[in-house]
Structure 1
Amino acid sequence: MRHLRPSVDVQITTAMDPFSIAAGVVGIAAPTLHCVQVLLEDLQNIADAPNAVKALTNDLQSVDLALVSVQAVTDSQWKLLGDAVTAQSKAAITCCKTSCERFKTSLDRWTRHSTDGTLSWRDRATLGVFRQGHIKSVSEQLQNCNITLTSVASIATLHISLQQTQTAEEIKTMISTKETTVNDAIAATNDLSAEISAQLETLTLAEPDEGETDADQTATTKQVAMEKKALAESRKVLEGLLSVIQTAAANAQACQGPTVTFGSYNQGQQVGVNSGTISATFGGRG
């Protein structure tokens, strides 16, 4: 469409220490956020967009929020997450940026017959029928990116949350909840990866559909391949986060030490054998 802006290679500078851990992530997160916002604006400017395209705007908005939350992670929190998770997060964000840039290029080509935010009948058919597989792949990748980056931001604050938690039971519940969330995300990523691998094999062997050019089929195949790569990067991030959770749990348990609990009479003196720090509470008669 004529109103759509061309793709640009954006360089965004920050005042952050270039040698800090966070600077490396922000260095890719900022231009990725810009790409997401440009693509989102382009899609929103299509007044009569097909439902699949409208749904894609929701995915972009979610990734926008996730990227902002990742940018808020402090340098000290990245250090707690570790070098591996930091590097893997950068790789996952890079995949998202590349996919958005490629999709914008395809979108410009698919809507070249339209003007002023209104799709021509030819472009409407292109988006509504022939490009469903491409759009679906981008949507899945954005959804996975959102889950991954939201998990990174959530686990980044885990250590502080554990320090503020008062009881062993609260710590246990918090750790269990985080582990379940990340494990569920890993399982979903594995399932989708298997599905995408099969789809990619089919696309590689298939002939272009009627009304589809070789260039369009190549673009779709490249997008699905990018989705497969992005899923692999996300799985690495999530597995790294699971390790961070387990380490945080062990540290919290070691710092808290055992607790002595008195019986139902809540009085008198009880003696046990203990090799660590004791936290005891004495009370009067009930």
Structure 2
Amino acid sequence: MDPFSITVGALGITQFALSSIGNLRDLINGLDEAKDVIQDVASDLEAIQLPLSALKSLQISDDKTYVAAKEDLENTGVAEAVNKCGQACADFSKKLEQWTKHSTTTKLSLRDRLSVGLWNKEKIRTFRTQVHSCQAIVQFAIDSTQLIVLVRSENASKTARHKTEKQLRYLEHAIQEHIKVTKRKQDEALQRKNALENPEDEDEDDDSGAQRALAIQETSKQARLLEDNQTASGIVSQILSRLSIPEVSNTYEVTFSGSHNSGMQIGHSTGTINWNGGRT
């Protein structure tokens, strides 16, 4: 029987989302004026695309295993994160195209458009948060699945399995550190929200008040995105923490505790595990 594979479509990730992510990445890379302002966004977009492409190399031995693996990936919120990120990318692409459509030396530069105004600063921060959160969710979820695949491989050498075990534990540690950093960022967003809700200067015009109200909405969105990121990362961490890899003679057995993950076995993939989500 031919092995099963999990496609992005099977997870519920839309082609619109994938195209929007790719289009924005290309747009940013083509704008010299934007590179030093939002180049980190382009890097995160690339880091979303690469692990999604790596799904093609996963080969799963049977239908039961396919269903279990697919369900675990779905539970991490990968599809929702990517689809929402894709819509945000599509909206941001439209803004960038508008801002550069009639650019001249006498008009406000793209750099200034990305930095001026209280509300605009927080809105850009929300977009950055959403992209980076999506990148982390995708990378953690797919890397963990790849590692389980490599551990289960009957063709892997003892040395290769030992190396994979070390990678798995490193990933567990990386997830826990990421959750700590994300919690700190959530606290910072809530602190900014509190400061905006209780300004020191009560004397402001209507326009400033409206800008402040919009900025409060954006900081609330940031806090929710960061909380969702912690939840999704925590799900991956729980799966990895329940993984045991006892050695029996020359074979390895992967077992999960708990009814949900019982009996999960995944076939072989030759994909390489790379984690680059440590940037804060």
Q: TM-score, normalised by structure 1?
A: 0.62
Cα distance change, pair 84–160 in 1 and its aligned pair in 2 (3 A): closer
Query: Aligned letter for 2:140?
Result: S
Give, in angstroms, the shift of residue 171 of structure 1: 6.0
| Equivalent residues of 1:22, 1:78 under 8 A apart | no
CA contact (8 A) 1:52 1:132 kept: no
Q: Give the aligned partner of residue 270 of structure 2.
A: none
Counterpart Cα distance in 2 of 1:214 and 1:67 = 42
Matched-pair contact (CA < 8 Å) for 1:155–1:245: yes
Structure 2 unaligned residues grouped into runs of 5+: 251-280
**Greater relative CO (CA pairs within 8 A, separation 6+):** 2
CA contact (8 A) 1:28 1:90 kept: yes
C-alpha displacement of 1:149: 0.9
Number of equivalent positions: 231
8 A contact 1:39–1:100 mirrored in 2: yes
1:28 counterpart SS class:
coil
Task: Give TM-score scaled by structure 2 length.
Answer: 0.63
Superposition map of 1:187-206 within 5 A:
187-203=180-196
1:1-286 pair list within 5 angstroms: 23-25=9-11, 27-49=12-34, 51-69=36-54, 79-81=67-69, 83=71, 85-87=73-75, 88-107=77-96, 111=99, 114-115=100-101, 121-124=107-110, 125-130=112-117, 131-163=120-152, 164=156, 166=158, 170=163, 172-203=165-196, 221-248=216-243, 250=244, 252-253=245-246, 256-257=247-248
Taking the aligned partners of 1:127 and 1:59, their CA distance within structure 2 comes to 18
RMSD: 3.9
Query: Gapped runs of 5+ residues in structure 1?
Result: 1-16, 260-286
> Partners of 2:85 and 2:21 in 1: how far apart?
9
- The answer to whether the 8 A contact 1:59-1:139 is kept is no
Instruction: Supply the AA of the counterpart residue of 2:38.
Output: V
- Displacement after TM superposition at 1:38 (Å): 2.4
Q: Distance in 2 between matches of 1:71 and 1:213?
A: 50
Conserved 8 A contact 1:186-1:238: yes
Q: CA deviation at 1:140?
A: 3.2
Shift, 1:235, TM fit: 1.8
Give 1:190's aligned amino acid: K
* TM superposition shift of 1:227: 3.2
**Quick check: 2:28–2:35 contact (8 Å CA) kept in 1?**
no
> Displacement, 1:174?
3.5
Q: 1:176 to 1:230 in 2, by over 3 A?
A: same
Kindly, what percent of the aligned residue pairs are identical?
13
The answer as to whether partners of 1:144 and 1:231 remain within 8 angstroms in 2 is: yes
Q: Distance in 2 between matches of 1:97 and 1:151?
A: 18
> What is the alpha-carbon distance in structure 2 between the residues aligned to residue 41 and residue 144 of structure 1?
20
1:134 Cα offset (Å) = 2.8
- Secondary structure at the aligned position of 1:48 is classed as helix
Change (3 A) 1:141 1:204: farther
Match of 1:14 in 2: none
From the superposition, tell whether residues 189 and 52 of structure 1 become closer, same or farther in structure 2 (CA, over 3 Å): same
Q: 1:99 to 1:218 in 2, by over 3 A?
A: farther
Contact persistence 2:52–2:142 (CA under 8 A)? no
> How far does the alpha carbon of each residue in 1:198-249 deviate from its partner, in whole angstroms, 9 at most, with x for none?
2334445669x99x7888767655554443333222222211111221233x
Cα distance between partner residues in 1 of 2:72 and 2:212: 35
Judge conservation of contact 1:95–1:226 (CA < 8 Å) in 2: no
